[in-house]
Amino acid sequence: MAHAQNPDRTEVLIVGAGPTGLTLACDLARRGVSALLVERAPALFPGSRGKGLQPRTLEVFEDLGLLDAVHAAGRPYPRMMNWENGERQGEWDLVERAEPDPTVPFPAGWMLPQWRTQELLYERLRELGGEVAFGTALSGLDQHPDRVEARLTGPDGTGRTVAARYLVAADGGRSTVRRAVGIPMTGEQVDPRPALVADVEIDGLDRENWHCWPKGPGGALLLCPLPSTTAFQLFAQFGADGGPETGGDPGEPDTSARGVRRTIAARTHLPESAVGAVHWASGFRPRAALADRFREGRVFLAGDAAQSTPRPAARASTPASRTRTTSAGSSARCCGTAPTRHCWTATSRSGCRSPPTCWRSPPGCTARAGSGPARCGAARAPSSSGSATRTAR
């Protein structure tokens, strides 16, 4: 394929239009920095994936002029409701509420499905004069002392070359850019058990609670009402030997609409007929990995291209720096112990570490505890997993 002789030019080329790439594009656009944002898919990702925004992310969105739209589209985290044998076992709070203060204006997360967060970021980008080149994939790149030349393939198969002062990889855990510049990822499988996440329509459940079946046959199952929709996000974890809905098959979860319905019916009191449309579904195995470095010459890694963390039920979209976080989705790991308290800290706008935001795993559940809070005024060293723009569930 022949590429253009005279490459297009831009200050920054961003590869990947997820929350990370869109947030960076908005920030550059409002500062008058020319940027080209390309996305290989034909449109924004349609699934929920992450369904919450962390406090530091809300500060970033306020700075970008996006906070009012985010608040209008989302909601606070609902209270959890445990179920057993078709009966409610009581409510409990996943997140401990805290009062705002000058250093932490948004002490609690905000629930908003990732697809809606991306829509709002895209709308803001267009207001700022930016755009996304959909259906455009990176096919290669060459670095020079003063620029990066990237070879792009458009939706019609036509190739062109773009010269940029800098290139930012925001193209996810399987980053094409990271592989192209030869940066390895070091990591490990966090849990060998596969998991299933899906966006589904459900009849027979209220939308005031995040519903949890911690003792479901084959593993825990959670259904969370998604704001801005009529859908629920499903999270289900499978044992090493599969579950009754898979016939004991230890392979990947069945992500077909029929497979999703069977999983819900097998672990809850809801019949398959209560499950309507399955908008999106994905299976995965929790894995944590970190790029050996976040920069190679004029190429930078951001988001999941730089670090990958497990995607349990309560993962939240966080296109902002954060430090020492642990996953609230650990509420799905249940084994009959007392409630456990877990905390994370974030760097606030003042440059200090915030007081910890905390959550509880319910009675009957355990989780890995996270790091304690750092003191305000301490040196801002990166966390053990590095500091990078990312999305988390």
All domains of the chain in start order, with CATH: 8-185+289-361 (3.50.50.60), 195-284 (3.30.70.2450)
The CA distance from 85 to 91, in Å, is: 16
**pLDDT (tens digit per residue) in 215-225:** 988 899 999 99
Residue 349 DSSP symbol = T
Adjacent-strand bridge partners of 92? 80
Tokens read off for 111:
């629930």
- Provide the whole-model pTM: 0.78
Q: What is the pLDDT of residues 311-365, one digit of tens each?
A: 544 444 545 433 222 222 333 333 233 334 434 333 333 344 333 444 444 444 4
Lowest-pLDDT range of 100-109, 280-289, 345-354: 345-354
- pLDDT band at 250, cuts 50/70/90? low
Q: What is the pLDDT of residue 370?
A: 33
